[in-house]
A = this chain, B = another copy of it.
Amino acid sequence: MAGKAKHRQPIIDAAVRLFRQQGYAATGLNELVEQSGSPKGSMYHYFPEGKPSIAVAAVEEAGRRVVDTLAALAEKSASTGELVRGHAGLLAGWMEKSGFRDGCPMTTVLLELAPDNVEVAEAGRRAFAARREVIAAKLRDDGFSAEDAERLAMLCTNAIQGSLVQARVERSRRPVEQTAELLAELLDAAMRQ
């Protein structure tokens, strides 16, 4: 088992990358095997239920990475406005570096598979809830009520996510950075009230 376990993560990493860049349906199992550098057998060993179960693992992994990134940024940000600006700067930078391919690592596969695949939809729901909670916690630290924090976190998450689609079609950092800047201004102004 130990010898085979080393191949699980590379398969998931390749799935996150490929689903993010080109989507789920366009990514074949052979491409996943090749890009992960794993022997074909390991695919069937770790994911006996096939491609949909790789999608679940990829959404969970992508969700963990987003939460880790956000949590690290939240710790060093003085306010939620700074957190949102900082996160947008990172996302815009990654988008630009990838030729505007690396948008949200979950959205494409979720749109393709939810609601027909309940496990994938549920993994997406949990991932987005965890992501919103990092922002909501920071908003509560800023003095917002729990209810306002939850509503504002939903708005910030959705707006940044939508802005990544715009960045793709415009081939520009502008939609992401402009959206984050306006959100940050609104949050900063609400804090001063």
Residues of A participating in the B interface, judged by any CB pair closer than 8 Å: 22-26, 99-101, 103, 107-108, 110-112, 114-116, 121-122, 124-125, 128, 151-152, 154-155, 157-163, 165-166, 168-171, 175, 178-179, 182-183, 186
Contacts and interface: CB of A to CB of B under 8 A. Distances in A.
B121 A166 contact: no
Contacts of A154: 163, 166, 175, 178-179, 182
Given A110-B169, A162-B157, A115 B128 contact: no
A171 B115 contact: yes
B103 A115 contact: no
Given A115-B99, A115-B101, A151-B182, A162 B158 contact: yes
A104 to B, nearest CB: 8
**Identical copies of this chain, number:** 2
Contact of A162 (B99, B162, B169, B178): B162
B152 A182 contact: yes
Given A23-B23, A25-B112, 11 more contacts: A23-B111, A25-B26, A114-B168, A115-B168, A124-B168, A155-B159, A155-B183, A157-B166, A158-B161, A158-B163, A161-B162
A166 B128 contact: yes
B121 A169 contact: yes
Contacts of A116: 22
17 contacts: A23-B23, A23-B24, A25-B25, A103-B111, A110-B165, A112-B112, A115-B169, A121-B169, A121-B171, A125-B169, A151-B182, A154-B166, A155-B179, A158-B159, A158-B163, A158-B165, A159-B159
